[in-house]
Amino acid sequence: MEDNFSLSLEELDGDYDQEAEIDRISKVQCGVPGLSIPVEVQTEISIIDVLESKILEGTIVKSVEDAYLLYCQYTHAKGFSVRKGDQRNLIVHVKPITRTNCKAKLKITREKDGEWQSTLEAMVNAGISISSVVSYMEDEACGPENLGFIRKDAYDHLSRLKKHTKVENGDATALIQYFINKANKENYFYWNVQLDDNDKVMNFFFRDYKCAVDYEYFCDVLSIDTTYRTNKYNLICTPFVGIYHHMRNVLFGLAFMSDETESSFEWLFRTFLDSMNEKQPQTIFSDQCQSMMNAIETVFPHSHHRLCQWHINQNSPSHFGSLNGDSAFKNLWHKCMTYCESEDEFEATWKYMVDKYNLDGHKWLNGMYRLRKKWATAFSNGRFSAGLLATSRSKVTNMVLKKSR
C-alpha cells in the first residue's frame, strides 16, 4: 500500500535579489519533467512560483523521497542546498546543508489515518488479535509515542467499521431462556435485558448470588472496562470488578452491550445498582470515555470517579510531540499524576511545568487540567482506592473470560 505524506513549508528565507534570481533561473531547467522557463521570459512568474505551488501546506506526496527531491528542486532554484534532519517513521525535517541560521524548513508528516488504519484492519481481518497488532505497530513506529493512537482507539476504530449487531432472535430466545432457567434454580440470580424499538436485544446484564455477597462486603472500589469485544455480534464485554481483602479480583457482575452511548451506560449502571440494592461504591475507575463519564456522574452521584492512569499514560505521548524526549518535562508530568502530596503542590508543579515549557495553549493538557480531580492522586488522598491507579483489574478479568470462551 502506498504511503501518504503531507507537506508543511515553514519560514522560507526571503533574503535574495529577485531580479538576479529571475535572470539566473530563466537559464536553467527546473528538474520537473516537461517544465522549463524560456530565456526570453522576464517576469515575476518564475520557476519558484511553480515549485512553491507544488509544496503548499497539505500537499500530498507518495513518499519521503518524492518530497525530498521536490524540495531540493525548489531550494536549488532559491540558491541554497538542503540536508535531511530529524528523521523518524512519522516526521522528517529537511534543513539547509550549511548552518547559516537560514530558517527554511520543510516538514513532512505521515497521514495518521492512512497506512496505520489499513494495516490495523488487514491484520485483524487475518485473525491476529488487536493487542498483538498494536504491539507490532508500536515497534514499527519506534515506540508508542510515535504511533498517534492507543489500544482503545484501535478497538473503537474497528468497532465503528463493524457495527454492533443486535442478537439474532434465535440466540436471544436461547439467552433469555437460559436466564429464566438459572433464576428458577438460584433464587438470588439476577438478570435484565434491554430491547430496542424493534424488540431486539441490545444490552444485557447478569450476576449470581456470590456476586451480590461479594459486593456487599467489597464494594468500596469498582472497576469498569469496555475494551474487550466478542466475535459474532461484536458486543462489548463489560465486567464489573472489585478487590477483596487478599487483594485479588472479585467479579460483581457481567454485561454485554451493543454500543457505548450515554443512554446504554445509564441503563447498565441503573440495572447494576438495582441488582445491588442501590448501594453505591466509594470509588469507580473507568477509562476516558465521555459517554461513560457522563453516565457515571448521573447514576453514581455519591461515588468518587477516577480515570485510569494507564490509559492516560498510553495516550499522552501522542500529544507531547518533541517533549517526549525531554526527561525533565516527563518527570514533572509524572509528578503531577502520582507524586504530589497535596492539591497545592499539584497546582504549583503544574504551573511551573506550563510556564517553563510555554504550554498555556496546549489543548490536550488544558483538557486534562480540567479533569485533574479525576486522575491526579493529589486530589484523592482522602478517598479509599485499594491502591489502584488503573482499570487493569478489569483487563485481567477480560483475559480470563476470553480464555474460558
- What is the CATH number for 231? 3.30.420
**Residue found under cell 518524492:** 66
Counting Cβ atoms within 10 Å, is residue 149 exposed (0-12), middle (13-18) or buried (19+)? buried
Largest CA distance in the chain: 97
Residues 173, 288 within the same domain = yes
Residues contacting residue 37 through CB under 8 Å, at least 6 positions apart? 25, 26, 28, 30, 46, 47
Does residue 223 form part of some domain?
yes
**Residue found under cell 512568474:** 45
257 three-state secondary structure:
strand
Residues 227, 251 within the same domain = yes
CB-based contact 102:12 (threshold 8 Å): no
CA angle, residues 179, 182, 187, in degrees to nearest 5: 115
Residues 206, 251 within the same domain = yes
- For the chain, what is the domain count? 4
- In this prediction, residue 219 carries a pLDDT of 87
- Residue 305, CB-side half-sphere exposure with 13 Å CA sphere: 19
Residues contacting residue 65 through CB under 8 Å, at least 6 positions apart? none
Residues 276, 324 within the same domain = no
- Residues paired with 87 in a beta bridge: 92
Residues 106, 132 within the same domain = no
Helix (H) or strand (E) holding 198: none
- Residues paired with 193 in a beta bridge: 204
Residues 201, 291 within the same domain = yes
Which stretches of 186-321 are DSSP H helices?
209-218, 262-275, 290-299, 309-315, 317-320
- pLDDT tens, per residue, the chain with 405 residues: 445 555 554 444 444 444 454 444 444 333 444 344 344 444 434 555 555 555 555 566 556 666 777 777 777 666 666 666 555 444 454 444 455 566 666 665 555 445 666 777 767 666 566 666 777 777 777 777 676 677 677 766 666 655 556 677 788 889 999 999 999 999 899 999 998 888 888 899 999 999 999 999 998 899 998 877 765 677 888 999 998 866 788 999 999 998 888 999 999 999 999 999 999 999 999 988 889 999 999 999 999 999 988 888 888 888 898 999 999 999 999 999 999 999 999 999 999 999 999 999 999 999 999 999 999 999 987 776 555 554 444 444 445 445 545
CA dist., res. 342 & res. 382, Å (int): 10
Does residue 74 form part of some domain?
yes
Residues 136, 266 within the same domain = no
Does residue 273 form part of some domain?
yes
Residues 274, 395 within the same domain = yes
**Residue found under cell 457522563:** 294
Cβ–Cβ contacts within 10 Å for residue 56, how many? 10
183 three-state secondary structure:
helix
- In this prediction, residue 32 carries a pLDDT of 41
Cβ–Cβ contacts within 10 Å for residue 86, how many? 11
What grid cell was written down for 39?
Answer: 530565456
Range of the structural domain that residue 131 is part of: 115-161
CA dist., res. 304 & res. 376, Å (int): 13
Residues 137, 251 within the same domain = no
DSSP 8-state symbol, 361: T
Does residue 27 form part of some domain?
yes
Confidence (pTM): 0.59
Does residue 384 form part of some domain?
no
Residues 394, 257 within the same domain = yes
CB-based contact 206:189 (threshold 8 Å): yes
Helix (H) or strand (E) holding 139: helix 130-140
Does residue 385 form part of some domain?
no
Residues 91, 129 within the same domain = no
Q: Is the dihedral of CA 196, 199, 202, 204 positive or negative?
A: positive
Does residue 20 form part of some domain?
yes
Does residue 173 form part of some domain?
yes
Phi and psi (nearest 5°) for 213? Answer: -65, -45
Structural domain ending residue among the three candidates 85, 110, 135: 110
What grid cell was written down for 104?
Answer: 527554511
Residues 178, 142 within the same domain = no
Cβ–Cβ contacts within 10 Å for residue 12, how many? 16
